[in-house]
Chains A and B, each alone.
Chain A
């Protein structure tokens, strides 16, 4: 597709331009290619639709002259695509636990940190697991464990910092339970409430096995039934135990439904079918924007965090690789970071994002202060009225309380089978 775009772009040039282009091509055969003489580059960008904003696409075109061609797939398909069709894209937006599954196939190459201007500015929350001097929980697949590779074409991860990054972090967040405060008239403080029979028929979790089981593990651990060594990498016994707890709850009618995508979780909550469930931050915001009270409830056991970044397949080379680096650099340079922060996510390089945000916005989203005026989403809709305070408070409070990270277990095959059995139970 990118090649086709290049050809089409070349078709409109004048005769003189064509001659010049021909000369450049001829010169390129002898010396290094003159990259920018050939019109705009198109990058095929695979990721979930949630992160593919028209606003970013337009801005990239404006700032870099690069065409982003979004290819929206479900999160399941991100990994499948990276493993089975690495030729079908130039750039990929994926979670760290997904990268852990793709890197061993050799389909993703390490990215040269020397070409990433702001590599050193990436938040220590991801690179070292520190926020404001506090050590973050490292259960699961914490980004810093797999952030680096030994070389460009390595198939494994480096134990220490190298000049090759697996994926360049772009966005991350701390997930917790969403609740309906109008239907639960008492404080909710623990993950254990997810399995509390008080909410029988009104609870929900995510039907994505790898993540659902971690939410379940948070609840099981919070209820004191078991202490996990690593909730993101359970033993078979721990998987059995967790699934048994879930199965017991399911049979007792604890869950109203499980959800699979963003909209389902919003519908469940907004319609009142569910009053407590695992949720994503923007989904809570969405429910609230519908006029339905909803709180992204901080819990004493901490958050389950996730982080996402950009990876490049081995097949992206030459101009497209240059454009990919250019795009990643642009992404870290602030405009996109502010764009993400305004939706309740966190951007990888905070300092640049801050420059693109109004002080009152920064104070609300990052410092946990009451909003001085209405908080608006990037598209202009009002997300929070003046005076509101962000659930969970400041960046330090929220990210500092991360207990575990989204992961894929060594016993993933076994876990998936048990999950299927749980659904059948």
Chain B
């Protein structure tokens, strides 16, 4: 009997993940304990890791793999060709901007313009909510107001801009009526302005929330301390509040940046389909079953977006905020 014990204990060590192992005797238990704390966190993280693996990592790997495939009009040909990347950058090397480069420049420009508006605007709204609205009820109500743009469908929302901003829309008619302009302003709609306006309308909330979160963490005594040290209100804003809101601004910028970089619907509708965006190019390829070309575009887009995020996280320690 006693000679069988070490074996039972050994089995329990190997089968550490099975707590109901029959060898749960004193000797076995003491030997098993060290493996417990090591394995448990991994087991706890496993379900999420599995979900991410299945629905994020795997599709990305497939996309990366497909971007190396060849294709004809009707079929995808498993391959390891750089054709799609070569075609994407065709003409880029021979001087002058190629379509892809121009598309990226156009998308990045939209991204920069949108950020230039959403960050200050989102900061201002968050500042108001954090420091000027005292009651939690009013704060919740105002947050709900901020989500109003999301209460209608994207399509309806964008169609609604036409009667407002169109050549014969409300704004132009008003401007003509008061004599501010002599002929309707064309750039109000189907223009970069219109695209940025729609983005701002939609995405400012994505700046407001993380910045609000950052601002709410600021110890009000810091502001008092700054005032005590002789700081005026603008100085407090510049030297205390703004630096401490930086993580929130960075997270907001990541949200807005990635949303804008991947967008094709808003750019399409508000830009009158005349403004290039990477998402649009990918969509066009996919529509014509040129999946490998679309995959290659996606891989490049992903790389660009990741670089943007990396740059932002270098500027600001976002992890501190999470």
Residues in chain A within 8 A of chain B (CB atoms): 76, 79-80, 83, 101-102, 104-105, 201, 204, 207, 209-210, 250, 255-260, 263-264, 267, 271-273, 408, 410, 412-413, 416-421, 423-425
A272 and B280 form a contact (CB under 8 A): no
Partner of B166, one of A102, A201, A271, A418: A271
With contact pairs A201-B186, A424-B99 given, residues A256 and B272 touching in the complex (Cβ less than 8 Å): yes
Partner of A273, one of B73, B167, B285, B289: B167
Question: What separation, in Å, do the CA atoms of A83 and B285 have in the docked complex?
Answer: 15
CB distance from B310 to the nearest CB of A (A): 26
- Which of B71, B269, B288 is packed against the most chain A CB atoms within 10 Å? B288
CB distance from B19 to the nearest CB of A (A): 43
B40 at interface (Cβ–Cβ under 8 A)? no
Partner of A424, one of B106, B162, B189, B269: B106
B287 at interface (Cβ–Cβ under 8 A)? yes
Beyond contacts A258-B274, A260-B273, A267-B162: 7 other A-B pairs, Cβ-Cβ < 8 A, are A80-B286, A255-B272, A417-B90, A423-B275, A424-B100, A424-B102, A424-B106
Nearest 6 A-B pairs (CB), nearest first? A257-B272, A421-B99, A424-B276, A258-B273, A76-B287, A207-B273
B99 and A80 form a contact (CB under 8 A): no
A424 and B103 form a contact (CB under 8 A): yes
Partner of A413, one of B167, B269, B275, B290: B290
Residue of A nearest to B83 (CB): A413
Question: What separation, in Å, do the CA atoms of A76 and B73 have in the docked complex?
Answer: 14
Residue of B nearest to A100 (CB): B73
A425 and B102 form a contact (CB under 8 A): yes
Residues of chain A within 8 A (CB-CB) of B27 are: none
Question: What separation, in Å, do the CA atoms of A413 and B271 have in the docked complex?
Answer: 25
B284 and A273 form a contact (CB under 8 A): no
Q: Contact flags (1/0) for B62-92 with A, using CB distance below 8 Å?
A: 0000000001011100000000000100100
Residues of chain B within 8 A (CB-CB) of A413 are: 71, 73, 288, 290, 293
B274 and A273 form a contact (CB under 8 A): no
With contact pairs A255-B272, A257-B274, A423-B273 given, residues A80 and B287 touching in the complex (Cβ less than 8 Å): yes
B273 and A417 form a contact (CB under 8 A): no
Question: What separation, in Å, do the CA atoms of A207 and B159 have in the docked complex?
Answer: 17
Residues of chain A within 8 A (CB-CB) of B285 are: 416, 420
B102 and A421 form a contact (CB under 8 A): yes
Residues of chain B within 8 A (CB-CB) of A101 are: 73-74, 289
